[in-house]
């Protein structure tokens, strides 16, 4: 009988790491912590155009209004050096997924974020960058419900428990 290894490190990846992936990072980190799971979550962009910058002000505002802490994020670039450093890599859309495969992320570790979404719909998390505030609220709603499902998946994989809230 083969066992699936525990998930201890998750990377969430979009294009610039200032909208979708940081929203997902903040929400998923909180959900995993609240479930008592000892899992590291990091977010990245496949592009390097925003490295070191905080998340988009609209993303931060959306998170803050919903009661999350959006202050610590600084954009990072996903490179081939991270390709095997994570147990689960979640691409925010199909283009990111293809870019991550090209960077050498093993297929068995790579999923689209919405592969876990319990709501029916397209597999991509839409990029809200060129739209208005409503797009950011929609991304947050998608991320919140999907983060619950990802947390259940991680828990089922036997991830280490931290003993409760930190």
Active site residues: 14, 20, 127
Question: What number of CA atoms fall less than 13 Å from residue 67's CA on the CB side?
Answer: 2
**DSSP H stretches of helix in the chain:** 20-34, 57-65, 94-102, 133-156
d(CA 145, CA 130): 23
Residue 71 phi/psi, 5-degree rounding, is -85, -25
Count of CB atoms situated within 10 Å of the CB of 23:
33
């Amino acid at each position: 009988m083969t066992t699936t290894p525990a998930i201890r490190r998750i990377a969430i990846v979009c294009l610039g790491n200032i909208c979708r992936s940081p929203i997902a990072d903040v929400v998923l980190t909180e959900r995993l912590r609240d479930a008592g799971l000892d899992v590291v979550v990091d977010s990245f962009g496949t592009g390097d155009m925003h490295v070191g910058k905080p998340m988009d002000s609209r993303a931060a505002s959306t998170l803050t209004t919903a009661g999350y802490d959006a202050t610590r994020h600084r954009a990072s670039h996903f490179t081939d050096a991270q390709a095997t450093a994570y147990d689960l890599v979640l691409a925010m859309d199909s283009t990111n997924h293809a870019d991550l495969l090209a960077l050498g992320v093993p297929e068995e570790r790579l999923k689209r974020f919405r592969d876990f979404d319990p709501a029916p719909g397209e597999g991509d998390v839409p990029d809200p960058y060129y739209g208005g505030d409503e797009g950011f609220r929609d991304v947050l709603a998608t991320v919140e419900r999907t983060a619950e499902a990802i947390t259940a998946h991680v828990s089922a994989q036997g991830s280490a428990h931290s003993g409760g809230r930190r």
